[in-house]
Amino acid sequence: MSPALFWAGFHLRRNLGRRGTMLWVVALPLVAVLMRLAFDVPAEAVGQLVLVYLVPLMSLAFGGGVLREEVEDQTLTYGFTRPLDRAAIYLARLAAAAGPVAIATLPAAVVAAGSVEDGVRLVAAAALGTAAHTSMFGLWGLLVSRPTWLGLAYVLVWEQALQTVPGWLSTVTLRSHLRNLGGLDQPSMSSLLPSADPGPWWVSALVLATVTVACVGLAGWIVRRKELVLTR
Amino acid sequence: MSGEPQPGIEPGIEVAGVTKLYGTVRALDEIDLRLGPGVTGLLGPNGSGKSTLLKLVSGQLRPDTGTVRVGGLDPFAQPEVFRSLGLCPEQDKFYEEQTGESFVTALTRLHGYGAREARERARAALTRVGMAEHMGKRIQAMSRGMRQRTKIAQAIAHDPPIVLLDEPLTGTDPIGRADLIALVRELGQQGRCVVVSSHVLHEVEAMTHQVVMVRYGRLRATGDIARLRALLDDRPYRFRVEVARPRALAAALVVLPHVRAAEVVDATTLELTTTDLAALCRALPREAAALGLVIDRLGSPDADLESLYRYLIERPGGPT
């Protein structure tokens, strides 16, 4: 096993060992099951909840602190003084952060599905959505000291505001591509002013994958050059 | 652990013209340094720049000007340098939920060792630092001394020819301290380049004779500690005595050849300056008894290390 893969597994186990993480991992699929079976909530609504809100917010909670937590804890020194590219260390920590999000949201996406085809599309959207959001918030965590506030504003204000804007502007949000890939309805202000169609599903898959690669690449470039050690 | 340095890069640290700024504060100022095999003590008061220097050498920071090379490699840009370098950081920070063994094993695996070899190396390193019986204990339940030893174990588990130890004796008990001092000496005798930072002179003295002294971010003295000791022997030493009639005691003591000055500070306090502390300690009770005086209190404003640094570093023609 490569050292970076080992490091990802080591931190994934640490993340999953935390009580708060386990709560998310167990509770989220359970809530989805309850919504579908006990309260008869439509599959579409559960899918929207999982993809549009839970994937981004959980990605923010786990991804925003990818290295910042270790910088604050001053444990980053241990990983950064090993014969491994810092970008590989970052990627390993990012994977460890995305792990709990995927473990919690993928079963919830399965529960939300009304059919096998829907299930495949929702799971793919949840997986790619987790990758895109975690890497984006991970990058923000390297650039700003309080990525959580910025991330909350992005998810709950920016994307929320843009999603109903008529025309192409609504397609610049990640959630429009998550909905498109997951086969969910796009919201609109009225039937006279429908939101723009992001295109076929593979365009959305490509957009989410591109965001992931771009954010990981830029973060790796920053990590190689930036001093991340506290000097107090 | 084999106990011998691995073949790899040449043990050696080169710091050339290095300046490091924290905002407008000059943490290090034009430092030039070359260190080879053996133990070198990095001495300086708190905030003098020791840890910054070690962070630069261990690639955690990048110099603003100048170059740092470890075995010919740039530690900030070339992570392969860490195959030959082990660092025991100053901060008492860990992955607290891990055991000593799992912590050191995990970090050793990052050097590319398989699970079994990493575990064997971790156990050997922990045994070497005296943690054989406690390696299964969770770090959060360890004493400060055990945590310190665990930190040292992760620095030496991959047998690096260059070892940086930032304040390694902090929190250790006297027996543990003696063991770690012996370990550091042994690492140096094996031909490794070992740098130990400390603000405690006698701790460093127990490990090595080679010292580098830093203050206000500048390199103030390098060389053999015996030379620094010789300077200490000549140092004027102030001694404060509280006694009922300081003027009478001053008159009796000021005639002694080693007493340079006797100043009556107030109605009950006398400050003496001597070049021979031992002689003054012999003379003081004798002269006080002859005058029928009882010494209420003795003390020295020069007893702290800070004043020693000040003397060594700021005296005209100080050591370089």
Q: Do B27 and A231 touch (CB under 8 A)?
A: yes
Q: What is the pLDDT of residue B320?
A: 43
Q: Is residue B8 over pLDDT 60? A: no
Does A179 fall in a domain? yes
Across the A/B interface, how many CB contacts are shorter than 8 Å? 69
Average pLDDT over residues A65-69: 87
Say yes or no to pLDDT of B233 above 90.
no
- Sorting pLDDT into bands at 50, 70 and 90, what band is B304? low
Query: Which residues on chain A are in Cβ contact (under 8 Å) with B110?
Result: 3, 6-7, 79, 82-84
Q: Does residue A63 belong to any structural domain of this protein?
A: yes
Burial class (CB in 10 A: 0-12, 13-18, 19+), B257: exposed
Query: Which residues in chain B are closer than 8 Å to A224, comparing Cβ atoms?
Result: 77
Task: Name the most confidently modeled range: A162-171, B163-172, B229-238.
Answer: B163-172
Distance of CA B105 to the CA centre of its chain: 28
Average pLDDT over residues A84-95: 96
CB B41 within 8 A of CB B35: no
- Reduced to 3 states (helix: H, G, I; strand: E, B; else coil), residue B136 is coil
Lowest mean pLDDT among B61-65, B172-176, B227-231: B227-231
Q: Three-state SS for B269? A: strand
Is residue B302's pLDDT more than 70? no
Q: Fill in the DSSP letter of residue B84.
A: S
Given a cut of 80, is residue B153 above it in pLDDT? Answer: yes
Residues in chain B within 8 Å Cβ distance of A229: 55, 60-61
Residues in B touching A17 (Cβ below 8 Å): 97
- Say what the pLDDT of residue B308 is: 60
Give domain status of residue A67, yes or no.
yes
B110/A229 CB distance under 8 A? no
Residues 6+ apart with CB under 8 A from B192: B5, B11, B37, B160, B161, B162, B163
Query: Which of B29, B53, B32, B24 shows the shortest CA–CA distance to B216?
Result: B29
Q: Which two tokens stand for residue B101?
A: 């063994």
Q: How confident is the model at residue B151 (pLDDT cuts 50, 70, 90)?
A: very high
How would residue B306 be classed by pLDDT, with cut points 50, 70 and 90? low
Window 70-129 of A, Cβ < 8 Å to B: 73-75, 77-86
Nearest to B95 among A75, A82, A86 (CB): A75
B270 CA to centre of own chain? 34
Q: Nearest residue on chain A to B152, judged by CA atoms?
A: A78
Complex-level ipTM? 0.88
Percent of chain A with pLDDT over 90: 57
Average pLDDT over residues A159-182: 85
Q: Band the pLDDT of B209: cuts 50, 70, 90.
A: confident
Distance CA B320, CA B318 (A): 7
| Model confidence band, residue B260 (pLDDT cutoffs 50, 70, 90) | confident
Tell whether B6 is within 8 A of chain A (Cβ): no
Check whether B37 has a pLDDT greater than 80: yes
Rounded to two decimals, the pTM is: 0.82
B-chain residues near A14 (CB < 8 A): 95, 97
Select the residue of B27, B52, B89 nearest A77 (Cβ to Cβ).
Answer: B89
When CB atoms are compared, the residue of A3, A74, A227 closest to B61 is: A227
Confidence of residue B319 (pLDDT cuts 50, 70, 90): very low
Residue B290 has pLDDT above 60, yes or no: yes
Mean pLDDT (chain B) is: 87
In the predicted structure, residue A119 carries a pLDDT above the cut 50: yes
Question: What pLDDT sits at residue B92?
Answer: 94
Pick the residue of A81, A89, A223 with the most B CBs within 10 A to test the interface with B by mutation.
A81
- Give the residue ranges of DSSP H helices in B241-314: 246-253, 277-290, 305-314
A231 occurs within a structural domain: no
The shortest CB-CB distance from A7 to any of B77, B85, B110 is to: B110
- Which residues neighbour B84 within 8 Å (Cβ) at sequence distance 6 or greater? B6, B8, B9, B11, B70, B71, B160, B161, B162
Region A196-206 average pLDDT: 88
Q: Give me chain A's average pLDDT, please.
A: 89
The answer to whether the CB atoms of B62 and A227 lie below 8 A apart is yes
A128 inside domain: yes
Q: How confident is the model at residue B199 (pLDDT cuts 50, 70, 90)?
A: confident
Higher pLDDT: B55 or A146? It is B55
Facing residue for A75 by CB, picked from B60, B94, B112: B94
- Sort out which chain A residues have CB atoms less than 8 A from B58's CB and list them: 77, 81
Does residue A193 have a pLDDT over 70?
A: no
Mean pLDDT of A3-10: 96
Percent of chain B whose predicted confidence (pLDDT) is above 90 = 62
The whole-number pLDDT of residue B229 equals 60
Cross-chain Cβ contact A83/B58 below 8 Å:
no
| Residues in a beta bridge with B263 | B271
CA end-to-end span of chain B, whole Å?
Answer: 38
Dist CA A44 CA A39 (whole Å): 14
Nearest chain A CA: its distance from B102 CA (Å): 10
Least confidently predicted of B22-26, B202-206, B211-215, B301-305: B301-305
A232 in a structural domain: no
Residue A219 lies in a domain: yes
pLDDT exceeds 60 at position B6:
no
In this prediction, residue B2 has a pLDDT band, given cuts at 50, 70 and 90, of very low
- The answer, yes or no, to whether residue B188 has pLDDT greater than 60, is yes
Q: How far is B223 from chain A (nearest CA, A)?
A: 28
Structurally, how many domains does chain A consist of? 1
Give Rg (Cα) of chain A: 18
Which residues in chain B have Cβ-Cβ distances shorter than 8 Å to A96?
A: none
Q: Tell me: pLDDT of A129 over 70.
A: yes
Contact B320, B222 (CB under 8 A): yes
Whether chain A has a CB inside 8 Å of the CB on B153: the answer is no
Q: Supply the pLDDT for residue B5.
A: 46
Is A82–B107 a contact, with Cβ atoms under 8 angstroms apart?
yes
Q: Comparing A59-68, B68-77, B117-126, B199-208, which segment has the lowest mean pLDDT?
A: B199-208
Nearest-angstrom CA–CA distance, B141 and B139: 5
Structural domain for A188, as ranges: 3-225
Q: Which residue has the higher pLDDT, A113 or B252?
A: B252
Q: Which of the pair, B158 or B23, is modelled with greater confidence?
A: B158
Is residue A230 a part of any domain in this protein? no
Question: Least CB-CB distance to B60: which of A75, A224, A229?
Answer: A229
Which residue from B27, B60, B93 is facing A80, i.e. has the nearest CB? B60
Mean pLDDT within A173-181: 92
Sign for the CA dihedral angle at B149, B154, B160, B166 comes to negative
Q: Please report where in the chains the tokens 């000291």 appear, as a residue.
A: A145
